[in-house]
Amino acid sequence: MTDQEILYQGAEAKIIKSTYLGYDAIVKKRVHKRYRIKEIDQVLIHSRTKQEAKVMALARSHGVSVPLIYDVDLKQGAITFEYVKGKRIKDIFDSITSVQRKKLCQQIGVQIGLLHNAEIIHGDLTTSNMILSKNHVYFIDFGLSEISTEIESRGVDLHLFMEALESTHSLHSTFFTYVLNAYTKTYNENAVLVKQKIDDIVKRGRYR
């Protein structure tokens, strides 16, 4: 890999633009934590890197649009995957037309439905973790993802995205309806139970 450029430095990982066998690539490299015992730190980085790569591969196999993984280095805690050229949904959501925004939300709902069909919970569904490339929505950053069959987990996943719209795109938060409708048509199990769980989570927040 050559010509590396750090795009983002977070508490958990560095996001680096690079190349892999001549292709533009992104490297996500987990950061070592000095406050942790070295051996424990290495085990955590190893397991979390492995989990994220596994989930991304599983999601892709179930039709979810995620970057193609090129390489996984468990020792270094690094995943190298294709560079998806496009724009973050966060950066365009408020500026596109209502028709475009509706179609975008429908795509997002379908993608979440496919994730949940595969028993994958993303864990960080925000418009920052979605990229629009050639009119297609890609999901990124599966660092908090998990495998779960629980309705609660599905409700939390969708509720998180609903909150993301309300906080980051408050003028268009009602477009979550299109996300939920598309999700309902895609999700293979009982979507009514997921909707009820979202309502339960909202009520919990009100009575805290």
**In angstroms, how far is the first alpha carbon of the chain from the final one?**
50
DSSP string, 29-92: EEPPPTTS-HHHHHHHHHHHHHHHHHHHHHHHHTT---PPEEEEETTTTEEEEE---SEEHHHH
* Tens-digit pLDDT profile for residues 96-147: 999 999 999 999 999 999 999 999 999 999 999 999 999 999 999 999 999 9
Which residues of the chain are in CATH 1.10.510.10 domains?
87-206
Fold of 5-82: Phosphorylase Kinase; domain 1 (3.30.200)
The set of residues, in sequence order, having a beta carbon less than 8 Å from that of 192 and lying 6+ positions away, is none
Please state the pTM of the whole predicted model: 0.92
| Residues assigned a catalytic role | 124
Separation CA 193–CA 146 (nearest Å): 20
Other Cβ atoms closer than 10 A to 1: 14
* Tens-digit pLDDT profile for residues 14-69: 999 999 999 999 999 998 888 888 889 899 999 999 999 999 999 999 999 999 99
Which residues of the chain are in CATH 3.30.200.20 domains?
5-82
For residue 74, give the nearest of 53, 50, 58, 39 by alpha carbon: 50
| C-alpha 19, offset from chain centre | 23
Separation CA 48–CA 197 (nearest Å): 28
Partners of residue 80 on adjacent β-strands? 27, 71
Specify burial of residue 208 (Cβ count, 10 A radius: 0-12, 13-18, 19+): exposed
* Tens-digit pLDDT profile for residues 139-193: 999 999 999 999 999 999 999 999 999 999 999 999 999 999 999 999 999 999 9
Q: CATH 1.20.120.640: does it fit domain 87-206?
A: no
